[in-house]
Amino acid sequence: MNIDGLGEFGLIERIRAGEGTLPRGIMGIGDDCAVLPQRKGYKTLVSTDLLMEGVHFLLEDIDPYSLGWKSAAVNLSDIAAMGGRPLGSFLAFALPKALDSKWMDDFFRGYRAVSGLCSAPLLGGDTTSSLDRLCICVTVLGECEDGHEILRSGARPGDRICVSGTLGDSAGGLKLILGGLPRAGAGERLIERHYRPVPRVAEGQRIAACGATAMMDISDGIGSDLRHITRASGVGAVVRVKDLPLSEELLSQSALYGWNARGLAIDGGEDYELLFTMPSDALRNLDIPYTEIGEIVPGEDILWEGASSQEHKGFRHF
Q: Does 262 bind a second copy (CB under 8 A)?
A: no
> Which residue, 142 or 268, has its beta carbon nearer to a second copy?
142
Rounded CA-CA distance 107/162 in Å is 34
Q: Does 61 bind a second copy (CB under 8 A)?
A: no
SS3 of 183-213: the string is CCCHHHHHHHHHHCCCCCHHHHHHHHHHCCC
Q: Does 17 bind a second copy (CB under 8 A)?
A: no
Task: Please work out the total of residues on this chain that contact a second copy, with binding judged by CB under 8 A.
Answer: 68
> Which residue, 151 or 303, has its beta carbon nearer to a second copy?
151
Rounded CA-CA distance 168/271 in Å is 7
> Which residue, 8 or 243, has its beta carbon nearer to a second copy?
8
Rounded CA-CA distance 164/200 in Å is 8
Q: Point out which span in 138-146, 157-165, 175-183, 295-303 binds a second copy (CB under 8 A).
A: 138-146
Task: Using CB under 8 A, pick the residue from 66, 71, 115, 139 that binds a second copy.
Answer: 139
Rounded CA-CA distance 149/152 in Å is 10
Nearest to 225 by CA among 280, 194, 268: 268
Whether 266 contacts 218, CB under 8 Å = no
CA dihedral 48, 49, 50, 51 (to 10 degrees): -150
Task: Using CB under 8 A, pick the residue from 16, 56, 156, 183 that binds a second copy.
Answer: 56
Q: 96: left (phi > 0), else alpha (psi -120 to 50), else beta?
A: beta
Task: Using CB under 8 A, pick the residue from 19, 106, 149, 188 that binds a second copy.
Answer: 149
Q: Per-residue x/- mask for a second copy, residues 153 to 172, rule CB under 8 A?
A: x-------------------
Q: Does 35 bind a second copy (CB under 8 A)?
A: yes
Q: Which residues bind a second copy (CB under 8 A)?
A: 1-2, 7-8, 27, 30-50, 52-56, 78-79, 81-82, 84, 90, 92-94, 123-126, 128-133, 135, 137, 139, 141-143, 146, 149, 151-153, 215-217, 232, 316-318
